[in-house]
Amino acid sequence: MKLIFATRPSALARWQTQWVIAALKAAHHGLVCEEKVITTQGDRILDKPLPEIGGKGLFTQELESELLSNAVHCAVHSLKDLPVENPAGLTIGCIPARAEMRDALVSQSGCTLATLPAGASVGTSSLRRAAQILAARPDLVTQSLRGNVDTRLRKALEGQYDAIILAGAGLTRLGLDKHVTEWLPLEVMLPAPGQGALAVQCRADDESTLSLLAALEDDSTRKAVTAERQFLLGLGGGCAVPVAAYAQTVDRGRQTVILLTGLVISPDGKKAVQVTGQGTDAIQLGSELAQQSIAQGASDILKLVTDN
């Protein structure tokens, strides 16, 4: 059996794809895998902030096209980059165990978020991160930061920004977490839905590939990220809106309970709606908390983004 994987050209995307390939080969003796490198729109356009060039599918559409044309069997994504609704004919074949979900601050001068001087520049490509930074430190200035993980890290270490915020999972996967100045606590920086998790996408009718991918599935991670992504879906949002969510699972007797926190925050950090809840059905829980947040004014906050 041979599997062909579509992957983006960045070091992180290649690492993630090669990790999945190695895990599958370990689980299935004799499996042959190869990579097909695809450059996405998000990889090509590096001179504009992410919200300006679109949200849904910015890093995934070209890979999904390869899947739908039968040119490849699988595509490995950072789950936080994957739109919450799969294109017709595609599915998430497996979600392995989640890695680091927190965001990390990197500062060449060694400052933490609390000790950055007033007016300091903080680089980020994410409205969600920028909004939470301004909620904690309204005296800071957020600036657009694009590029792959290694490019963004280099800009921070060269002092082009006083600090930058990156997803911790990318840094740990690439062995770059030694540069982390501060791991931001969830009370300060709630992650994007699905952050830290990988998703292996394939065709929904490709039963042989689905059976191979099942070896990497982590049920607890699947439940947690499904609740988070359902919260985002219930708000009608994509990757480019300031929505955060984080869920955990706990075993209580014979039941697995999902604990979910969701956040909708205005770009300036001044308005926020945060909701928490628990349940045993991930989709129902995510939907209910989305409706709770809408009832508390989340739609008005999101309108501030879509109107600008």
Residues forming the active site: 81
Please give the Cα distance from 191 to 243 (Å, whole number).
9
Q: Which residues on neighbouring strands pair with residue 94, listed in sequence order? A: 200
CB 199, CB 8: distance < 8 Å: no
Question: Could you give the C-alpha distances from 128 to 60, 103, 191, 293, in angstroms and in order?
Answer: 20, 11, 8, 16
Token output for 198: 């990988």
Tokens 């300036």 correspond to what residue? 268
Which 3 state secondary structure label does DSSP give 191? Answer: coil
Please give the Cα distance from 212 to 98 (Å, whole number).
19
Q: Which residues on neighbouring strands pair with residue 163, listed in sequence order? A: 122
Please give the Cα distance from 101 to 86 (Å, whole number).
23
Determine the Cα angle at 59 with ends 53 and 64, to 5°: 125
Please give the Cα distance from 220 to 226 (Å, whole number).
10
CB 67, CB 202: distance < 8 Å: yes
**Is the Cα dihedral 79, 287, 264, 186 positive or negative?**
negative
Token output for 267: 């770009």
